[in-house]
Chain A
Amino acid sequence: MHAPRPLDIQTAAERFTSNVGRVIVGRSESVELIFIALLCEGHVLIEDVPGMGKTLLARATARSLDGSFKRIQCTPDLLPSDVVGLHFFNQKLSEFEFRPGPVMANVVLVDEINRAMPRTQSCLLESMQERQVTVDLKTVCLPRPFILMATQNPIELEGTFPLPEAQLDRFLLKLRLGYPTPQDEFGVLDRYQQDNPMDRLESVIGTAELLALQALARGTLIAEPVRRYIVAVTRATREHPDIRLGGSTRSALGLQSASQALATCRGRDYVLPDDVKSLAVPVLSHRIILKTEARLKERTEEDILREILDSVPVPTE
């Protein structure tokens, strides 16, 4: 395989978008964001009300990749060992044998993640950040690429456990799908009238190709002024009077890598401040905590972040 170029990433992005678009009508922005997360090997949190296509989007993404896929349906009685695996005693061999959990896959869908108990949620921390799991003092590396896609429903609060900040911070992007337009909704009905297009979905990107594309995206030039701009935006989230907890250094790193990926998706080999601005909301919105006063004023994280983006000077002449 020849060394990939920015053009290859653009082509791969188009392939991926059109393939997922066979199942998901509209939502091209969300699909593009997911592809960016794939290029950064970042995890995605999809949050929306039931029936918006969160799980379908995650499954279509997994199906579009030529890699292993596992699904974890979170329930309150789910245990950490159900996720990461466990050592069981093989009576035939008279020894303990490691049985890997569903987290050992290239793409892992954690459905309704906020229904799992905090101890089960926390067992994902190591795998999300370090791409490994430790079971009974034994550390097992996860297959690469490793991408975790989680969904959660923000409406139903009974029987759910809010995700801790440490875990939220490990998600690169948070997506909200929202209701489709009437035209898109009609398109969904039309497409699903006869059968389920998911059954015919094929993989369009191999894991080896994805790893190569990731390396290429990481090599995208991000000039010093743009990096300073990322730092300024992140710092502004910490100094805003309506924010109790601002963005972490990890969020700045995530914003940088996501901006690099977006630039390559758009056929550029350098990052513009526009890339940073367009990704600041999905990268930072789930990592900041608003003060109670701001919530009472019905201000959202997106509003505050847009306000910050409208106040931080962009490096130019």
Chain B
Amino acid sequence: MNQILPRGTGALFAGGMEACWMVGGLRLLETRAAAGALPVPWVMIGLPLAFTLWRLTRALSPFLRLAAGLAGGVVWALVLITFCAFPVDALPEPAWVAGPAGRLFQRQGAPNPIQLTALAAVATWVGGLRLATMRVGFDRLLSEFQFGLPILLFIFFCAAQWDAVLPAPGTVVFAFFTFFLLGMAAARGGDAGGWLRGRMRARWLAALVFNTALVLGVGLMLTAAVTPEALKLALGCLQALWDTMVEWVVWFIAFLARLIPAPEMKTYPMGGGAGPAPQAPSAIADIMQIPDYVRRVAAFIVAAFWIVLFGVCLWRMASQIAAWLRRQMNDLDGAEVETLRGAFRQDVRRLLIRVLRRLRGWITWLGYALGRRPMTDLLPAEAAAVRRLYRRLLAWSAAGGCPRARHQTPHEFLGRLCDRLPEARTKLTLITEHYAGVRYGGRRPDADLVKLLESTWQDVRHMRKRSGIQPKRTIQERE
């Protein structure tokens, strides 16, 4: 199913998709920030250059290869800003040597086109290096598509918001989908049941062209349908919905506030005259006042935090959907499709059962939070402590990229954990053995043993920190 493509072919399709959204982004940057001074075609040359350099230096050691790649990027950025940002006829003048460096680090008027060019050159170079190091197969192409499509949408959304006119957006989208579809066809082409080898091999090109035309047609229709007015209407609806929700929340808070008894009004004796003169603000108050620029920076940080959080949420959801799709497609590899009576009903039933289980978990947690003691609290304190310690071990290993699968027994999980952290084998075995004794054997450990396990657990944690081992995740775990 996941056939790895040859290095050049894979890079062509993945790089093509990458180049599409890069071009879109650079065009937007050029329109908004560089006032048309960004040499986008030249910048994009960095992508194949970096790829070629990385491939050519494969005989070097990894360190030298990395150094060569980074040095190549720096050189490429310098060359680009020197030869593209300055007219050729100015090259003989001695000022051009110091000019780019000076403008590169110029703080006034930042970001200037030179800085943007350097940034774009470095970004494309890194993209090229990334292309050269990855092995492109079906799953990688799917990931690239999953990665590139939201970026493209984000770029077009920003362009619509800023009223920026991007040159040939339809072409970029068409190229993006073309690279994706061709890449998918190539990745599936080598399969035994694929189009290139199956009975339909005579028609795969027609099917591919049909698919491409379909995507293009749907894209054109969407382009025609999604006008700025339609977008404004949709945004207006969203805004109205949001306002309604806010109104409801405000109304609810006001309703709650009405339930609180109002403070009694106190009467104060009316004084004559204008009263005492207002005091001048003290110097301490001036010091305690937060400057405006600090407020602005804080507001920016908070906004950035929320944007990143939102982006991570979106990315996480998209990853889950893509992983599910990949699993489904892997399961379908070589399968003959037939209709199963009641399959949909069964799927819905399973989904409902899972939702109910999750709900039950939340209710249990809520009960625990509200003071209802779970079963573990009926255990002796030491046994409960051992179980809590093992739960911490599980959470810790899951956070480190080694979660326990639901079907794994503690000893099976121990083997897996020891593979990741071999120097802690003895300590992990001690914890697991005692946990198994408590959980399955009804053992009642004494306080000394709990202390020993606690110290062992702390040793394991510090051992991990000292060794700085990052868990090596397998493909299955990533999925």
Residues of A near any B CB (own CB < 8 A):
221, 223, 225-226, 268-274, 277, 309-317
Contact = CB atoms under 8 A, between A and B. Distances in A.
Given A223-B441, A309-B407, 10 more contacts: A268-B441, A272-B409, A272-B436, A273-B440, A274-B411, A313-B407, A314-B406, A314-B409, A316-B410, A317-B394
B405 to A, nearest CB: 8
A262 to B, nearest CB: 13
Nearest to B334: A297
Given A317-B387, A317-B391, A223 B440 contact: yes
A272 B432 CA distance: 12
Interface of B: 387, 390-391, 394, 404, 406-412, 436-437, 439-442
A312 B404 CA distance: 13
Given A314-B406, A316-B410, A226 B440 contact: yes
Contact of A314 (B390, B394, B407): B407
- Report whether over half of chain B's contact residues are helix, strand or loop; otherwise say mixed: helix
Nearest to A313: B406
Contacts of A270: 437, 440-442
Given A272-B436, A317-B391, A221 B442 contact: yes
Question: 3 nearest interchain CB pairs?
Answer: A270-B441, A313-B406, A273-B409
A194 to B, nearest CB: 43
B409 A277 contact: yes
Given A314-B406, A317-B387, A317-B391, A274 B441 contact: no
6 contacts: A226-B440, A268-B441, A270-B440, A272-B409, A317-B390, A317-B439
Given A270-B437, A274-B412, A317-B391, A310 B442 contact: no
Nearest to A310: B407
Contacts of B394: 317
A218 to B, nearest CB: 17
A316 B439 contact: yes
Contacts of A274: 409, 411-412
- Report whether over half of chain A's contact residues are helix, strand or loop; otherwise say mixed: loop
Contacts of B436: 272
A282 B28 CA distance: 65
Contacts of A309: 407
Most buried by B among A223, A270, A315: A270
Contacts of A310: 407
A314 B408 contact: yes
A312 B437 CA distance: 22
B162 to A, nearest CB: 51
A270 B439 CA distance: 10
Nearest to A277: B409
Contacts of A268: 441
A255 to B, nearest CB: 15
Contact of A272 (B390, B391, B406, B440): B440
Most buried by B among A271, A273, A274, A309: A273
Nearest to A229: B409
Contacts of B412: 274
A277 B394 CA distance: 21
A316 B439 CA distance: 8
A223 B383 CA distance: 15
A188 B66 CA distance: 57
A317 B435 CA distance: 10
A309 B437 CA distance: 22
A310 B441 CA distance: 23
A271 B436 CA distance: 10
A268 B443 CA distance: 12
Contacts of B442: 221, 223, 270
A226 B407 CA distance: 13
Nearest to A317: B391
Nearest to A293: B338
A221 B436 CA distance: 13
Contacts of B440: 223, 225-226, 270-273
B439 A223 contact: yes
A88 B189 CA distance: 77
B390 A221 contact: no
A272 B411 contact: yes
A291 to B, nearest CB: 13
A313 B390 CA distance: 17
Most buried by A among B394, B409, B412, B442: B409
Contact of B441 (A221, A277, A313): A221
Contacts of A226: 440
Contacts of B409: 272-274, 277, 314, 316
Most buried by A among B394, B412, B441: B441
Contacts of B439: 223, 225, 315-317
Nearest to A308: B407
Contacts of A269: 441
A274 B411 CA distance: 7
B1 to A, nearest CB: 17
A309 B394 CA distance: 21
Nearest to B392: A317
Nearest to B406: A313
A310 B409 CA distance: 11
Contacts of A277: 409
Nearest to A311: B407
Nearest to B340: A241
Contacts of B411: 272, 274
Contacts of B406: 313-314
B319 to A, nearest CB: 23
A314 B391 CA distance: 15
Nearest to B395: A317
B361 to A, nearest CB: 13
A51 to B, nearest CB: 36
Contact of A312 (B387, B390, B391, B407): B407
A253 B61 CA distance: 61
A269 B442 CA distance: 10
Nearest to A270: B441
A221 B443 CA distance: 11
B445 to A, nearest CB: 14
A271 B437 CA distance: 10
A3 B211 CA distance: 78
Contacts of A313: 406-407
A223 B437 CA distance: 11
A229 B441 CA distance: 15
B293 to A, nearest CB: 49
A310 B476 CA distance: 14
Contacts of A221: 441-442
Nearest to A271: B440
